[in-house]
């Protein structure tokens, strides 16, 4: 809970590529750059254990400015921690999903990059595909 026992709002802004939600007693702000810097193109190292990348906050200055303009309270609160980690994107920028060739009853849905935006559609599409042998929308 936030100070005073209140729940903080959650939301998303598509133009700024930001989302925000309550995280314990504070606010979490998430963003990404659509034209990001590729990391480990030839594959993730086998010993990679979710280490963080350098904060590189300057790369996100434009996103932060849009966020602070739209949600002034976040700008006034300041930044406590910066977490910069690798992000998954499919080759076309869309999730890769469907049956796994050669493996009976095996399915995959990976590269879901904008979880708030895509998770409902991905879940529905996968369920339809599994039950009806085809999704009701173009995939």
Count of domains observed in the chain:
2
What CATH number does the domain containing 28 carry? 3.30.9.10
Note the pLDDT of residue 37. Answer: 75
Q: What does the alpha-carbon distance between residue 134 and residue 139 come to, in Å, rounded to a whole number?
A: 10
| pLDDT-derived band at 114, boundaries 50, 70, 90 | low
Could you count the other beta carbons within 10 Å of the beta carbon of residue 126? 19
Give the domain range for residue 104: 96-132
Q: Does one domain contain both 65 and 38?
A: yes
In the chain, % of residues over pLDDT 70: 91
Determine contact, residues 28/18, Cβ cutoff 8 Å.
no
Per-residue model confidence (pLDDT) at position 129: 94
Place of tokens 């280490």: 51
Question: Per the domain annotation, does 31 fall within a domain?
Answer: yes
Share of the chain above pLDDT 90, in %: 17
Answer whether residue 33 shows pLDDT above 80.
no
Give the sign of the dihedral formed by CA 94, CA 39, CA 107, CA 113: negative
**Cα distance between residue 78 and residue 85, in whole Å:** 20
Query: Residue 111: is its pLDDT beyond 70?
Result: yes
Contact in structure between 105 and 126 (CB atoms under 8 Å): no
């Amino acid at each position: 809970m936030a100070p005073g026992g209140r729940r903080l709002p959650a939301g998303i802004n598509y133009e700024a590529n930001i989302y925000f939600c309550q995280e314990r007693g504070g606010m979490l702000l998430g963003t990404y750059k659509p034209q990001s810097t590729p990391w480990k193109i030839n594959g993730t190292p086998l010993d990679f254990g979710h280490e963080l990348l350098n904060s590189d906050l300057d790369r996100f200055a434009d996103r932060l400015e849009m966020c602070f303009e739209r949600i002034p309270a976040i700008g006034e609160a300041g930044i406590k921690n910066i977490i910069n980690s690798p992000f998954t994107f499919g080759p076309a920028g869309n999730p890769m999903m469907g049956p796994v060739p050669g493996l009976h009853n095996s399915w995959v849905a990976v590269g879901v990059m904008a979880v708030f935006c895509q998770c409902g559609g991905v879940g529905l599409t996968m369920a339809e595909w599994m039950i009806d042998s085809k999704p009701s929308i173009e995939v």
